[in-house]
Structure 1
Amino acid sequence: MVTIDPAERLRLIELGKLAMNHFEKQRSFICDPAKDMSDHEKENRVLMRIQNDARKLLVLGDILGDDGKDFLKLGKNAAGFIYLLYNIETDHQTMVKELVDLWTNLQTSTGRCADIIYPAGWSPSETDSDSAVDEEWAAWCADFYLGFGKGTGRRCTFCGGSTPLPRPLLFCGGCKNTVYCDRMCQVMDWKSGHKSSCAKNESGRKECKEEEASAEAA
């Protein structure tokens, strides 16, 4: 394995944290007893996203070694999650190896083939569809190989996702610096710690009270 410089290591760790959050978001939908059981297409797309999250976490866990132990563990859990509930068994080994090998080769390459991995002018689909899931995967590959958010504008602070056009990202009303792809990410981030950091800003104190009430109701 190639030596990873500190900046690249931190970048990959950040991608891993976003992938963990993205998986937790998908899992929360599957485990939500109030979800629409008749919307099988949406449920299938969530399962596709979980499979992609498993690949992300397994790849990053492989590359980062000791720093990626949590990613590797959760990646295996994600794969096991959909097998346990849906009897969907996917062999990630081949794809994970290909992704790791390509990343390794790019570390000694003078160019990163942006137009091949991540077509110029790409933008999220207007609707949630199977093709949208494929586009999300392509976007993550661009983040993985080229750098976070290359050519896509701002991304969700919590899960790393973008939003279907023309809907914009949601800004935190307190700090104004944190953006989310949807309300669910906003609530989950609030519960996982953004409340405390946002409350430190005087401008965010009013928003904190409003968000706290909203998060408790969610």
Structure 2
Amino acid sequence: MFGRKKIVTMKPIKKLPHGTVRHELHIKIKDGVNKGDILHAVKCPPGQNINDWVAVNCFDLFNEINLTYSSITALCTTTRCPVMNAGPKMEYIWIENNKSVKLSAPEYCEKLFTWVQNCFDDTSIFPAEFTSKPPKQFAETVRKIFKRLFRVYAHMFYNHMEHLEQLGIQGITLRGFKHFYAFCRQYKMLGKEDVVPLHSLVEDLDKEFGFKSL
């Protein structure tokens, strides 16, 4: 019914050991978001290492979009979504070994989630503990992660909003995106060209959060 070939994209959730600073930050973020104060929830607490804060938020926001996308994998197939896009005018190409590769949406998401998980597991990028200076690749890698994860939200909103509604998770997904977008704007993870597919939605969020338009 939905196309025979699907790709399982669910990746292991990035878990933070109990009792660690990062786990405490994870709880703080979760509590803030659950209370509905998203802008406060994305701001780094006073005295906290900003790089640890960014890393934990990166883990959490990846886990959230990973779970959301996993709920529609039976509906996002190579047959139904032969191109990774966000509407007819926005197509995303995977870059690997300096080569552009055109992929179906599930193939793109599979590669993306695997790449993100590999970045998290690489201690030369995401060390177990940050010193005064982060690794050279950290900031660039984090921005690239958020730019690419934005594309998954854009694809889902353009191609699977009806499916999210049918599954009863449209509201949860939109709240997850608000959290994702607020963090990205707070820490300058996205540029104007990145948000084009969801321009009207992010304009509304900019007004709600008090951000200047990109």
TM bracket (short chain): 0.3 to 0.5
Q: What's the TM-score, normalizing by structure 1?
A: 0.33
Query: Could you say which structure has the larger radius of gyration?
Result: 1
Structure with greater helix share of residues: 1
Q: What's the TM-score, normalizing by structure 2?
A: 0.33
